[in-house]
Amino acid sequence: QSRSSAASDVYKRQALHKVLSEMPEEVGGQVTIMGDRSLPYELVKKIMRTCQESRFTQIALAVNQVEAG
């Protein structure tokens, strides 16, 4: 991963953390992360870590399943 890409990831993570931590208290606690096969697992892990660092303690994963055809 290049330095600019890593710096961009850090910036995005900090921005997500800021948004999540500024949400009203009644919104915190639960979050559902939705995705499909195109969502890289490393990104899912980063999102989950950021949620944990905010006040989200109940994290669920949901996937979009496409029918074979």
Helix crossing, 41-53 with 3-21: angle to 10°? 40
- Report which of residues 54 and 6 the model is more confident about: 54
pLDDT, position 69: 62
How confident is the model over 8-64, as pLDDT tens digits?
778 887 887 787 777 766 666 788 888 888 888 888 888 888 888 877 888 898 887
Determine contact, residues 2/17, Cβ cutoff 8 Å: no
pLDDT, position 15: 83
pTM summary value: 0.58
